[in-house]
Amino acid sequence: MEAGNLRERFEGELIGPEDAPYEEARAIFNSMIDRRPALIAQCETATDVAAALEHAREHELEVAIRSGGHSVTGAGLSEGGMVIDMRRMSAVNVDPAARTATVQGGATWSDFDRATQPHGLTSTGGRVSTTGVAGLTLGGGSGWLERRYGLACDNLESVTLVTADGRTVTASESDNAELFWGLHGGGSNFGVATELVFRLQPLPAATFALLLWPAEAGPEVGRRYRELFEAGAPDELGGAFAYITGPPEEFVPEHLQNELVSGVVLVYAGGEQEARDAIAPILELEPAGLQPTEMPYSEIQCAIDDPPGYRNYWSAEHLASLPDEALEIFCRRAEDMVVPSPSQHILFPWGGALGAQGARWPIPHRDASYVAHPLGLWEDPADDEQARAWARGLCEDLRPFSTGAVYLNFESASEDRLEAGFGRENLDRLAAVKAEYDPENVFHLHHNIKPLQPA
C-alpha cells in the first residue's frame, strides 16, 4: 500500500512491506501471530494519529492500534491494514506537587516507573515493565499494587483520544463523563489514546522476593498462602502463588533450575521487616530463591519480565474462594505445563482496594478472592497442543469454583467472553458509548464492543 500523500503531512515514520525496518516494526510479543500490515504509521504527534486515521478511512484499511505489542491475540496488528504505532509517543511527565503523571499513549510501564520512581510516587501498573500503559490501563490494569491502590484504570484522572473521524476528545469525571466511564475497561474501542493522566500514590519503600520450593511442596505452600489471605492479610501484600520453571539464576539452587518448582512472588508496598512479618508463615517453610529485599519499585517491575518471541496462550478464571478441592486442582494441573519454559501457573490474591470501585466502572466483578491465570509461553510449535490444553484444562476444572467473571486482558479468546468481562448491563451501556464515539466500529480488533444499533 502506497502511503501516498500521507507522507507530505506526517511527521513520524511510515513503514511498508518494502521498507527495511518492516520486519522489526511488525514483530510483537506473541510469535504465533504473523500478520503483514499494508502500512505501519509510527506517529510522532496527535496530528499524525488523525492523519493516519484519515488515510486509513480513504483507503478502506482496517485499523489496529499498537503500543507495547503485548496483546496475546495480536490486536495491535492488522493483516493488510494500517497499524497506528504509538511507540514514538512515550513521554511521561510527573508533577510531584499535584501527584500526577501525564503519559503519552505509546509509553510502557518501564517509561512510567522510571519517571515516577525518583519522586517516591507510583501507581498500579502491571506485573512486567514492557507492557504498554495505554493497552493495559484501558483494559482495566491488574498489577502487583492492586490490593493497595485498585486497578490501573481506577487511578485515571483523564484520557485524551483521537476518534475515528479525527476529533480530539478529552474525557474525565467532568468532561465526556460517559466516555470516561467506558474507558475504564472497554477502553480500546473508542479511539486512539494520545495522553493519559494518572493520580499518583506515595510509595516510600517496596519489598520483593521470589521464594522457591520443589514442586512437591506446592500444596503445603498453597495452603499457607491461602491462610494468610483468609486471616486478613494487609492490603500492602500483593504477589502470587505460582508454579514456574526454576530459572537458571545464581539465586536458585542447582537442583531447582530448569525443573518445575512451586513458588511465592512477594511484592509488598512497604519495608522489608513489615513484609517479612506479613508472610512469616511462608518463610517458616524455609524457601530457596530470592529472599525478601527492599528494592526500587521500578526494579521490581522488571524482575519477572518475560522474554518476547515465544508462542503464547493465556486464560484466567476468577475464583469465589479456594476450597481444598480447588487448590488440589490448581497444584495438580501444574504438572501439565510445558517444562522447561517461561510459562507461569499463577494464582493472584484479590481483595483489598480492588473491590472498592467495582460498582463505579465497567469491570464490576471485583469480589473474587483469587484469580487463577495460566500464562503459557513456549518455543516449539510441536508443544502447541499441550500448552493450550493445559491453560484451557486448568480453567475448565476450576469453573465450578468460579464467580463466572473474567478479566479480558488475561484472555486469549475474548470475543465470546465480553458479557463475563463486563456484565450484561455494562455491556449494553458500553455499546451506547461505542455508538456515540465509533459508530462504524473502526476500532474492532480488541475486545470488540459492537455499537448499539438504533431501535
How many C-beta atoms surround the C-beta of residue 228 within 10 A? Answer: 19
Name which of residues 86 to 125 contact ligand FAD (CB under 6 A): 86, 105
Select the residue interacting with ligand FAD from 39, 115, 354, 445 (CB under 6 A).
445
Residues near ligand FAD (CB under 6 A), total: 35
Could you tell me how many helices (H) and strands (E) the chain has, helices first?
14, 19
Contact 197, 92 (CB under 8 A): no
Using CB under 6 A as the binding rule, whether residue 136 contacts ligand FAD is answered as yes
How many C-beta atoms surround the C-beta of residue 239 within 10 A? Answer: 26
Q: Which stretch binds ligand FAD (CB under 6 A): 138-146, 222-230, 284-292, 383-391?
A: 138-146
CA distances from 386 to 312, 374, 392 (A): 12, 13, 10
Select the residue interacting with ligand FAD from 55, 70, 148, 224 (CB under 6 A).
70
Using CB under 6 A as the binding rule, whether residue 82 contacts ligand FAD is answered as no
Using CB under 6 A as the binding rule, whether residue 171 contacts ligand FAD is answered as no
Cell numbers representing residue 399 in the block: 469453573
CB nearer to ligand FAD: give 52 or 288: 52
Q: Of 265, 246, 249, give the one whose Cα is nearest residue 339.
A: 246
Pattern of binders to ligand FAD over 265-304, x per CB under 6 A? ----------------------------------------
* Helix 324-333 × helix 218-230 angle, to 10°: 140
What does the alpha-carbon distance between residue 52 and residue 10 come to, in Å, rounded to a whole number? 8
DSSP state of 18: T
Q: How far is the CB of 104 from ligand FAD (least distance, A)?
A: 8
Q: How far is the CB of 323 from ligand FAD (least distance, A)?
A: 26
Phi-psi category of residue 99: left, alpha or beta, with phi > 0 → left and psi -120 to 50 → alpha: left
CB nearer to ligand FAD: give 10 or 213: 10
Using CB under 6 A as the binding rule, whether residue 71 contacts ligand FAD is answered as yes
Contact 179, 437 (CB under 8 A): yes
Q: Of 150, 145, 167, 168, give the one whose Cα is nearest residue 158.
A: 168
CB nearer to ligand FAD: give 283 or 352: 352
Name which of residues 23 to 62 contact ligand FAD (CB under 6 A): 29
Using CB under 6 A as the binding rule, whether residue 192 contacts ligand FAD is answered as yes
Q: How far is the CB of 306 from ligand FAD (least distance, A)?
A: 4
Contact 188, 443 (CB under 8 A): yes
Using CB under 6 A as the binding rule, whether residue 164 contacts ligand FAD is answered as no
C-alpha torsion sign, points 335, 338, 340, 342: negative
CB nearer to ligand FAD: give 161 or 200: 161
| Residue ranges in contact with ligand FAD by CB under 6 A | 29, 64-72, 75-76, 86, 105, 126-128, 131-132, 134-136, 138-143, 188, 192-193, 306, 409, 445-446
